[in-house]
Structure 1
């Protein structure tokens, strides 16, 4: 009886001892709670660092974008200035070339105007010979032919250097080349037609250095 009582009590003690053990969820190892606590705290710290780090990265990206935009605008401004500088330089080159050519073409303008007076003297000398005497007097005919030939050679030489005589007889009136001294109504001719040349004109490389003085027709009244 005594042995049975002891055995029964032992079983009750063992059963009682097992009940708390079954209800325990966390292992009884001493290091386990500390490790679990560290792991959870580390995760919290990492999450906090991520939350704190995200605004900083966004600010840096925004700052980089702002700097990139400024540099892009600055590069565009430099490109525009460079393009304008190149265009201005090319325009300067073209203008310089034109001025050089003009200076070369019209360097003798003053000298050419002086030569025009000599050409006028040839014309006056030829016009001074009466028409009736051109065939009657052989000496006068030879003199007239010699003066005429000299005039033609002189005008040909001047033309090689850009100085050209213009005789606008029968041509339409051009205010850039002609100077109208009088007008006469002529029904049989077109209005503004040169019918009389009082003084011939001259061009130097296409530019008028002396306008021809002419008489011009006008419309019949």
Structure 2
């Protein structure tokens, strides 16, 4: 019974296995080809090596060029700021100078507004001087009497008129100076800025350059000579 069982298993195994070895090998090969992927022919990989030194230098050059460009732009902006500041300071200085000039011009216009009017009055003042000098000193020094009362009153009126006129002009900056007055007991020296020499003559009692005669007195308007005094100057040499 045991032998029959072994025999049956052997027959079953034979029925399962293919009868032809070539057919089984072919089937196995097809199955293997279907399962395995198609293999490509082997090709050796070649590695290429590139130098990065050139790229590094190009990058450094680009950075340096960019820095130079930024530096130039910054320098140009700084120059522009300096120029604008200089222009601004010049404009401010010019504006201040203009204000000062306008102020000086206005002050001068106020101070010398009566210059023409004052010049027209100088002849009247000179005529008053001539009228007073026309009266002899002896008559003025004599006591006032009925005979010379009118003369004294006339002289007093002329002197009062001259004094009031000069005081009024002094309030507006016009003053008279007399080069014939002694300074510390000495005669004044000729000054071309203040005096006009009409003649020159020798004098034993004076030194060269002394003012010995006054033809007409001088006038200043706010410190500026409005009319120089006409004088005679000593010249002994």
Normalised by the shorter chain, which TM-score bucket? 0.7 to 0.9
Q: State the Cα distance separating 1:53 from its structure 2 match.
A: 2.5
Q: CA deviation at 1:83?
A: 1.9
TM-score (norm 1): 0.73
Query: Displacement, 1:54?
Result: 2.2
After superposition, give the CA deviation of every residue in 1:34-92 in whole Å (9 maximum; x if it has no partner). xxx99xx8xx7987765542222111111101111111112112222222222222221
Tell me what 1:178 maps to.
195
Report whether the alignment pairs 1:140 with 2:151.
yes
Distance in 2 (CA, whole Å) between partners of 1:149 and 1:111 is 21
Q: Say if 1:182 and 1:51 are closer, same or farther in 2 by CA, change over 3 A.
A: closer
Task: Report the 3-state secondary structure (helix = DSSP H, G, I; strand = E; otherwise coil) of the residue aligned with 1:132.
Answer: helix
- Give the aligned partner of residue 94 of structure 1: 100
Equivalent-residue separation in structure 1 for 2:210 and 2:97 (angstroms)? 41
Number of equivalences:
181
Q: Secondary structure at the match of 2:175?
A: strand
Q: Is the counterpart of residue 157 in structure 1 residue 174 in structure 2?
A: no
| Gaps in structure 2 of 5+ consecutive residues | 1-45, 181-186
The structure whose residues are more often helix, as a share, is 1
Partner of 1:211: 228
Equivalent position to 2:125, from 119, 136, 143: 119
* Local SS of the residue matching 2:137: coil
Q: Give the alignment partner of residue 81 of structure 2, picking from 75, 80, 85.
A: 75
- Alignment correspondent of 2:110: 104
Query: Alpha-carbon deviation of 1:158?
Result: 0.7
Q: Post-superposition shift, 1:186?
A: 2.2
Aligned-residue CA RMSD in angstroms? Answer: 2.3
Please give the alpha-carbon distance, in whole angstroms, between the structure 2 residues aligned to 1:131 and 1:48. 119
- CA distance in 1 between counterparts of 2:151 and 2:205 reads 38
What are the superposed Cα offsets for residues 158-181 of structure 1, whole Å, 9 maximum, x if unpaired?
111111111111321111121100
What residue number does 1:196 align with?
213
Q: Distance in 2 between matches of 1:75 and 1:190?
A: 68
Equivalent residue runs for 1:2-13 within 5 Å: none
TM norm structure 2: 0.69
Q: 1:56 aligns with which of 51, 55, 62?
A: 62
